[in-house]
C-alpha cells in the first residue's frame, strides 16, 4: 500500500471514529437537553442555556487565539522536530490563558452587576455562577488543541465529548431522582461546572501522556520575546470570537430583548439543528493538521482531492439528518415537554442554515490552516454585523423566529465570502459542483 493510500485510509478511519464520538456526544447532549427541559421547563431551560452561552462566549477571548494557533504550530514544528518551540508555546499559551480567563470573567461580572441588562432574576443568578466555568472551559480548549496538534485527535476528544457530558448526565439523574425539587437552573449550572472540571483533569493527564518525551525534556525559555506569539494568535481569537458571536448573539440578545421562554425555545431549536453540522465538525477535527501540513508542503492538488472527498461525505450526512429533523420536527419537539412545539419554525430555518454550511464545506478551516486568518476575520466582521443588526430588528417582534432568520442570513453571507477567499487565494473549490464567485 502506497503512502498516499495509507494516509487516505487513516483519514477515513479517523473521520469515522470522530463521527462515532460526536454521535455519542450528541446522544448524551440530547439526553441532557431532555433532562433539563423536563425538569426545568421552558423558562428554566432558557435561564440555564443563557448562562452557558455566556460561558462559551467568554472562553474564546480567554484563550487569546492560542487554541487555534497551537494546532497549526505543533503540527508544523513536530515535522521540523523543533521540540523547544513547542514547549515554549504550550507553556506560554497556558499561562496567558489562566490570567486572561480570570480577568475577563471578573470584569464581565462587574459590568453586568452595575449595568443590569438582564431583568430575569433567575437568569441573572445562573449567569453569575456560570462565570466560574470560564477559566475551566478556556483551559480545556488549550488542552484539546495540544492533543490535536500531536495528531491525537480522537484521544483528545474523549474527555470533552464523552466524559464531561456523561458526568453531567449522571449528576442530573441523581439530583432529579433523589431531590427533584432542588433541581433549579442554578443547581444545573453548578453541576455543569463540576462535570467540566473533572473532565479537564482527565484531559490534562491525556495531554501530558501524548506529548513526546523530547518536548518534556526540552529547555523552557520564556521571556519578553515570547509575546511575539500574540501577533499570530490574536487573529485566531478574533476569528473564533466572530464565529461564536455569529452563533451565540441570538441567545444573548434574546435574553436582553425578549424572555427566558424565547431563549428556551430557540436553544432547543439550535441544539437540534446542530445535528446537521455533525459531519462538518467531525471532518474538521481530523482535517485541520492535514491541511496545515499539505499547505507547508505546497501540495495544492492533493489538498483539493482531500477537500472534495470530505465535502461529499459532509453533504451526504447533513442532507440525511436534515430530512429526518424537518419531517419529524413536531414529534421531536414534543419529546422535550409542553410548550417546546412552538419552536418548529425556528428549527426549520436553523436546519437550512446548517445545510448551507455543509454545502460550502470546511472553508473556514482551510483559511485558518493556510495562514489566511485575515480573510476569515473580514468575512466574520461583515456577517456578524449583519447578524447583530438583524437580531436587533427582528427579535423584539418575532422572538425566536426572528433570531433564527438573522442567524441564517449571517451563515449564508460568511460562507459566500470565505468560499471566494479560498478560491482566490488557494484555487480550491470546497463544494461538490464547479462553482466560482
pLDDT value of residue 102: 96
38 Cβ contact list (under 8 Å, min separation 6): 336, 337
Tell me what pLDDT residue 403 has: 93
The cell numbers describing 1, all together, are 500500500
Question: pLDDT at position 8, please?
Answer: 56
DSSP state of 124: H
Instruction: Give the Cα separation of 247 and 332 in Å (integer).
Output: 22
Q: Are 255 and 399 in contact (CB under 8 A)?
A: no
DSSP state of 180: G
pLDDT of res. 13:
64
Q: In which region does residue 120 sit, left (phi positive, over 0), alpha (psi from -120 to 50) or beta (all else)?
A: beta
Question: Angle CA(386)–CA(263)–CA(319) in degrees, nearest 5?
Answer: 65
- Under the phi-then-psi rule, with left for phi > 0, alpha for psi from -120 to 50, and beta for the rest, what region is 351? alpha
Average pLDDT across each block of 10 residues of the chain; the chain has 437 residues. List them in order.
Answer: 57 68 83 90 91 91 88 85 88 93 95 84 92 95 90 85 94 92 93 95 91 88 82 78 74 86 90 84 74 81 84 88 93 87 92 92 85 83 91 91 93 92 87 72
What lies within 8 Å, CB to CB, of 6 at 6+ separation is none
pTM: 0.77
Amino acid at each position: 500500500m502506497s503512502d498516499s493510500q495509507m494516509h487516505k485510509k487513516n483519514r477515513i478511519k479517523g473521520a469515522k471514529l470522530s463521527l462515532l464520538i460526536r454521535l455519542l456526544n450528541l446522544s448524551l447532549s440530547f439526553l441532557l437537553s431532555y433532562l433539563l427541559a423536563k425538569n426545568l421547563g421552558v423558562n428554566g431551560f432558557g435561564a440555564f442555556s443563557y448562562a452557558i452561552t455566556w460561558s462559551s462566549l467568554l472562553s474564546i477571548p480567554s484563550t487569546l487565539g492560542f487554541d487555534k494557533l497551537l494546532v497549526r504550530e505543533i503540527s508544523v514544528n513536530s515535522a521540523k522536530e523543533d521540540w523547544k518551540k513547542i514547549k515554549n508555546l504550550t507553556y506560554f499559551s497556558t499561562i496567558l490563558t489562566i490570567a486572561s480567563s480570570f480577568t475577563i470573567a471578573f470584569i464581565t461580572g462587574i459590568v453586568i452587576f452595575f449595568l443590569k441588562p438582564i431583568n430575569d432574576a433567575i437568569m441573572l443568578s445562573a449567569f453569575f455562577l456560570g462565570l466560574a466555568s470560564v477559566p475551566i472551559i478556556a483551559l480545556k480548549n488549550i488542552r484539546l488543541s495540544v492533543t490535536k496538534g500531536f495528531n491525537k485527535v480522537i484521544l483528545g476528544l474523549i474527555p470533552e465529548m464523552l466524559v464531561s457530558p456523561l458526568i453531567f448526565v449522571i449528576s442530573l439523574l441523581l439530583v432529579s431522582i433523589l431531590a427533584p425539587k432542588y433541581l433549579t437552573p442554578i443547581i444545573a449550572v453548578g453541576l455543569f461546572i463540576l462535570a467540566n472540571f473533572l473532565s479537564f483533569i482527565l484531559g490534562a493527564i491525556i495531554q501530558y501522556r501524548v506529548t513526546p518525551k523530547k518536548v518534556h525534556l526540552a529547555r523552557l525559555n520564556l521571556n519578553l520575546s515570547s509575546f511575539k506569539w500574540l501577533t499570530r494568535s490574536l487573529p485566531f481569537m478574533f476569528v473564533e470570537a466572530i464565529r461564536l458571536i455569529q452563533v451565540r448573539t441570538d441567545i444573548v440578545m434574546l435574553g436582553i430583548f425578549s424572555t427566558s421562554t424565547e431563549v428556551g425555545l430557540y436553544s432547543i431549536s439550535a441544539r437540534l439543528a446542530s445535528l446537521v453540522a455533525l459531519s462538518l465538525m467531525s471532518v474538521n477535527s481530523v482535517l485541520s493538521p492535514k491541511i496545515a501540513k499539505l499547505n507547508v508542503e505546497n501540495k495544492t492538488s492533493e489538498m483539493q482531492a482531500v477537500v472534495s472527498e470530505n465535502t461529499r461525505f459532509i453533504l451526504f450526512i447533513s442532507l440525511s439528518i436534515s430530512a429526518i429533523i424537518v419531517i419529524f420536527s413536531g414529534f421531536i419537539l414534543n419529546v422535550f415537554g409542553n410548550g417546546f412545539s412552538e419552536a418548529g419554525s425556528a428549527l426549520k430555518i436553523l436546519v437550512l442554515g446548517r445545510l448551507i454550511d455543509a454545502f460550502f464545506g470546511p472553508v473556514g478551516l482551510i483559511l485558518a490552516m493556510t495562514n489566511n486568518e485575515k480573510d476569515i476575520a473580514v468575512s466574520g466582521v461583515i456577517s456578524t454585523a449583519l447578524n447583530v443588526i438583524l437580531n436587533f430588528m427582528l427579535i423584539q417582534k418575532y422572538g425566536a423566529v426572528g433570531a433564527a432568520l438573522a442567524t441564517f442570513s449571517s451563515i449564508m453571507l460568511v460562507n459566500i465570502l470565505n468560499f471566494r477567499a479560498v478560491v482566490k487565494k488557494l484555487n480550491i473549490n470546497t463544494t461538490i459542483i464547479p462553482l466560482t464567485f
